Chains A and B, each alone.
Chain A
Amino acid sequence: MATRPRSPFRWGRLVLFAVLLAGAGITILPFLFMISTSLKTLAETLTRISPSPFSPDFWPRTPQWSNYRDAWKVASFGIFFKNSVIIAVTTMVETVVISALSAYAFSKIRFAGREILFTILLSTLIIPETVYLIPNVIIVSSFGWMNTLAGLTLPFVASAFFIFLLRQFFNQVPNELLEVSRIDGAGHLRSFRSVMLPLSKAPLFTVAFLSFIGSWNALQWPLVVTQGSKWRPLTVGLTMFITEAGPEMQLRMAGAVIAIAPVILLYFVAQKQFTEAITRSGIKA
């Protein structure tokens, strides 16, 4: 067997690296553009534009950090940020608790009608979300939940997909493990809390991440349910700013940075769990 010639082999690696680097550049460039624009003066956003980050025109002459203060205070992104945090954390907690409890029951508790209820649950997966829009607007407003935290979070916290995902995992946990804990008469809640939950950190993280991101990034429902700045999240605030406010690109981009930063920070901190969660979400269809 002939050995590979050395030099073309290395050239191949170099080309591969260059291609991947170029791709990463294209991926990152819009974010760089966002950051640089967010630090420009209004005049600079109109006159100093360049597609190349190596050109001085790409960057502001002196970074205008005050843009962030303006966006936070004047354009109310501070309030929207606080709302987004409250809404996303509430959605995440509600989703994890509700999905884990029901997934446990569907996996480990024998109760009448379990199979048929689970089948009905799964059948909701084929309904496109758009179909819910109109009826849920009518339902939520008839509950008097417009512009409330309940109206913003509750319609989405019980998801057949998350319950299915957790049940798949719970099914792999042997029953004996739970029965041991129940010999001394402990109830289901006890074995759920002290045996099942500690064993299921990875899938629970998946559900937590995906529901947090889903809520943080959502636009349509909060756009419909919120009025004024009381509960308006960042996504809605930014959209309103784009469609209604003037041409202040630097403030728009500062708002975009404020919306993106928390998600990216979370992603960098828990990069592995995130990637795993998103790979799992692909199994959805």
Chain B
Amino acid sequence: MRKQRLRDNIAGYLFTGPALILIGIFSIFPVFFTVYVSLFKWRPNGPAGFLGLGNYVEMFGGNPLWLLLTLASIGGFVLAAFLLRSRRGAAGKALGLAGGIGVLAASLVAFVVALPYLVAQGDKEVFDSIRVTIWYSIGTVPIQLAAGMVLAVLLNQKVAGRQAFRVVYLIPYIAPAVATAAIFELLLSLRTDSFANQLLGLFGAQPLQWLQEPRGIFQMLSGAAAYGPAPAMGVIPAYWSEWAQGPSLAMGSIIIYSWWVFIGYYSLLYLNGLSNIPRQLYEAAEVDGAGKLRSFFSITVPLLSPTTYLLTILGVMGTFKAFTHIFVLRHAAAAGTVDPVSVSIFFTYFRKSRLGYASAVSMLLFAIVLGLTVLQRRTEKRLEYGD
């Protein structure tokens, strides 16, 4: 028996050895190594001087007050959400409500004031890339979810060529992103007779610059012509007016590409979710006189919520690591308005050869993703236990 156990141990380590060694070297060690590298000025041929927290100071600026205040206000939002949900008796509920609103208001004020000063003293490029990432999430995830769900429901009907449609809708997701992005780079060219501009012409609209248009979409809709820093304004309104301009049209073009790629993929996962909904529910609803639309909103949407939840996480995390299509679709004219954090980190290494600073920005990205993961775990538990 002891011989058997020894043999099992040896076999176990031999079988798992290659995987564990590779994961150790290329997945676990790098996390700690990134922290180390981020403390140095590090060039492609090696470290070129210890900086301590220098890279982080460059990113967040010299005065720690604004960083702490921004973090505190984000913590305040979480606390407020927690207080607003507390349900311990009527008194507790009222207290929670009052406290929640108070904390929320205070955090909001702190956030609105602190963030612009943090950005003003920190690295604008990094904060711009975070804003781009957020716009990218907002522009892609909700639309892909809604369109993917509707498409899945349509594909789930008995319709001629159903299987063929399913096959076709998945092609953009499977094809190499470099190649499909290269096609869109051509479709969305700024030439007046480009594919996209001819299409606009059919509706009597003027040609657009698409991927080379750095102006914000909201800004363009409001008719403002100039792109660039706003005229003399205080730090706070100047910062928030940049948000008010919306994502650039160049980002909007990338978002359209993203819809084309991902809606079919989302609908495939939704179809998988639909197959788990018992038919009898729809039959019962029909007997009760519910129409198609009613059963869609009362049965389909709620019962697909696990898939929706999963796809939301996948989508948001996807925007944090988005790289390939943006690398192909970005033009110098609009570069700063389309680079999410992942692309910004890449160029800090690839163009500027600043490995130490790129590591520091990677740590910021890691912190954000970790924060979102913790938040996700909490809400997931809540969903599971039906709170």
Give residues in A with beta carbon < 8 Å to B: 13, 16-17, 19-20, 23-24, 26-28, 30-31, 33-34, 37, 49-51, 98-99, 101-102, 104-106, 109-112, 114, 117, 120-121, 124, 126-139, 141, 154-158, 160, 163, 187-189, 192, 213, 216-220, 223-224, 234-235, 238-239, 242, 249, 252-253, 255-257, 259-260, 263-264, 267-268, 271, 274-275, 278-279, 282-285
Contacts and interface: CB of A to CB of B under 8 A. Distances in A.
Given A128-B321, A132-B27, A187-B7, 5 more contacts: A13-B159, A154-B22, A158-B19, A188-B8, A275-B170
B67 interface: no
Contacts of A283: 310
B144 to A, nearest CB: 13
Contact of A109 (B15, B33, B187, B269): B15
A82 to B, nearest CB: 16
Nearest to B47: A138
B179 interface: yes
25 contacts: A13-B159, A20-B161, A24-B165, A27-B260, A37-B186, A98-B18, A105-B15, A109-B8, A109-B11, A124-B27, A128-B321, A130-B320, A133-B362, A134-B345, A138-B33, A158-B23, A242-B185, A256-B179, A259-B176, A260-B179, A263-B174, A267-B171, A268-B167, A278-B268, A282-B268
B342 interface: yes
B186 A135 contact: no
A23 B169 contact: yes
B386 to A, nearest CB: 21
B186 A128 contact: no
A175 to B, nearest CB: 13
Given A104-B15, A135-B359, A224-B350, A126 B33 contact: no
B313 interface: yes
A111 B345 contact: no
A28 B7 CA distance: 56
Given A138-B33, A138-B355, A30 B15 contact: no
A139 B33 contact: yes
B137 interface: no
Nearest to B166: A275
A152 to B, nearest CB: 12
Interface string B262-274: 0011001100100
Interface string B224-263: 0000000000000000000000000000000000001000
Nearest to B330: A243
B284 interface: no
A111 B370 contact: no
A24 B169 contact: yes
Contact of B172 (A27, A49, A127, A268): A27
A217 B177 contact: yes
A282 B174 contact: no
A111 B11 contact: yes
Given A20-B155, A131-B34, A282-B310, A253 B183 contact: yes
B148 to A, nearest CB: 11
Given A27-B171, A127-B31, A260 B176 contact: yes
B177 A279 contact: no
Nearest to B27: A124
Interface in B1-28: 5, 7-9, 11-13, 15-16, 18-20, 22-23, 25-28
Q: What 6 pairs between A and B have smallest CB-CB spacing?
A: A111-B12, A135-B30, A105-B15, A158-B22, A102-B19, A256-B179
B362 A264 contact: no
A274 B166 CA distance: 12
